[in-house]
Structure 1
């Protein structure tokens, strides 16, 4: 009987240790280079299991949930109100997955109507300092690195049994509690953590196209410089409809029967406006 109790306890410990842990980070961004006073703040999740971790926007999973319920209810995209989706807009369109087994990092993002995925090919070379302090309840240690055109300072803790962090950051002997660039444009701050049953399924809008990181950047530039041509190459006029039909209603940009030329013009204006608002990306190189 005692032996059975020990076996049951062992299974319980194994089950608990295999659970996924969710770390909630507050992400502070200044994405507009011309207007640094326009500070965007939103929450993002870092879900960690023994095999992998995924970093993504809280608003994104909420949007996906609303859309899923709308389609399951038979209403489709048109049954979702524009205001409802506007309130869940995110500046974190990407997701970052780290494969613990192969020590590889992948970024997934959408350009136009297609999803793309690439493997990060630049290593994070950390310089660990002896400087320590306390952030919240955690004793943390300082580390610095140059990555993608920015100088980053991270504070990591060994109080938690994870060697990970938000975005592409990781590879330190502990969990990153805070990381920010020296210009104060981007900051990730750990707020709380709790256990979840499993990883949520993120809507990828089709199977991501696997490309090299340099090719992904080229595709981004093509889309920004000539969105209409890019959309036509990636699937014709259907691309315009997919991009424009966000939310319900029959107003501008709200679906319905729109003239393709008007849709094209409106899409180009929107892409240019979005590019202007995101002229200070997290990666400068």
Structure 2
């Protein structure tokens, strides 16, 4: 175990798995509907928390705030969640070197299923593009590219910050990745700042989750139909009425569009 786990005080079963040494903030964009052009992006603030032990967590700050506020409301018996902030562009929480060194852990949801995927940590095979420089966050960066997990990725990294880290699974360059995007620009992570938080842990919420593979996770995402859930609820005798934003009755919910960052 890369760091001693400690349970935080409170009603939630939250583990502090490491201490945050560096936090990089990325202004991020992603698109779910890849068929509609031009893309309709969703914006978010993604964070990469890194510990001195090599443990890191990549997550949506918006989703983290939403989850915290939702738990607080439910603990008070308030189940009206309409005033909560919108969820982030990526629902996953992605850990490197956890639950042990050389492993990764992804926590995500597929419909009603809470999933966890544990894998061996992989290193993309990068090609550094010569004569390519950019100034990002005041650091001189160089461009590298790789074909990884079904997408062609471009990453700007700086050797001024010698951390083998970056958004999501992107790593393996001689410096921190401050900007990354795929060739279709369906996912964009643009570094905005770095800080050194004092006393802030890298946390994990303990919950019942189904251990699945990436292949099974995609299958669950593709097969999810919210109308099946409504039918099951109706079978219990519950009266369910779904309304459009204009107040009219909605007979059927369209399947949510999704675009996984990992294609292979």
Q: Give TM class, smaller chain.
A: 0.7 to 0.9
Instruction: Give the structure 1 partner of residue 222 of structure 2.
Output: 221
Match of 2:239 among 250, 259, 265: 259
User: Which blocks of at least 5 consecutive residues in structure 2 are unaligned?
Assistant: 1-18, 243-248
Instruction: Give the structure 2 partner of residue 40 of structure 1.
Output: 42
CA distance in 1, matches of 2:250, 2:173: 42
In structure 2, do the counterparts of structure 1 residues 271 and 45 end up closer, same or farther at CA, with 3 Å as the change threshold? farther
> Does the alignment pair 1:57 with 2:60?
yes
CA distance in 1, matches of 2:227, 2:70: 25
Secondary structure of the equivalent of 1:164? coil
Q: 1:45-93: per-residue Cα shift (whole Å, max 9, x none)?
A: 1111023101111111111221232234x23333x4x1x22x3222211
> Does the alignment pair 1:282 with 2:261?
yes
Please identify the structure whose Cα radius of gyration is greater: 1
Q: In 1, are the aligned partners of 2:62 and 2:87 still within 8 Å (CA)? A: yes
CA distance in 1, matches of 2:185, 2:203: 32
Instruction: Give the structure 2 partner of residue 140 of structure 1.
Output: 141
Normalising by structure 1, we get a TM-score of 0.71
Secondary structure of the equivalent of 2:23? strand
Counterparts of 1:78-157 in structure 2 under 5 Å? 78=80, 80=81, 82=82, 84-85=83-84, 87-99=85-97, 102-120=101-119, 123-133=123-133, 134-157=135-158
Instruction: Give the structure 2 partner of residue 75 of structure 1.
Output: 77
RMSD of aligned alpha carbons: 3.1
- TM-aligned CA deviation for residue 200 of structure 1: 5.3
Q: In 1, are the aligned partners of 2:123 and 2:171 still within 8 Å (CA)? A: no
Secondary structure of the equivalent of 2:34? coil
> Does the alignment pair 1:186 with 2:184?
no
CA distance in 1, matches of 2:182, 2:89: 17
Q: In 1, are the aligned partners of 2:144 and 2:155 still within 8 Å (CA)? A: yes
Q: 1:118-150: per-residue Cα shift (whole Å, max 9, x none)?
A: 134665222233444122311112211112221
CA distance in 1, matches of 2:250, 2:109: 16
Q: In 2, are the aligned partners of 1:227 and 1:268 still within 8 Å (CA)? A: no
In structure 2, do the counterparts of structure 1 residues 22 and 149 end up closer, same or farther at CA, with 3 Å as the change threshold? same
Q: Which has the higher strand share?
A: 2
In structure 2, do the counterparts of structure 1 residues 267 and 68 end up closer, same or farther at CA, with 3 Å as the change threshold? farther
CA distance in 2, matches of 1:36, 1:92: 21
In structure 2, do the counterparts of structure 1 residues 104 and 258 end up closer, same or farther at CA, with 3 Å as the change threshold? same
Matched pairs, number: 234
CA distance in 1, matches of 2:177, 2:47: 13
- TM-aligned CA deviation for residue 184 of structure 1: 2.0
CA distance in 2, matches of 1:267, 1:106: 38
- TM-aligned CA deviation for residue 269 of structure 1: 4.1
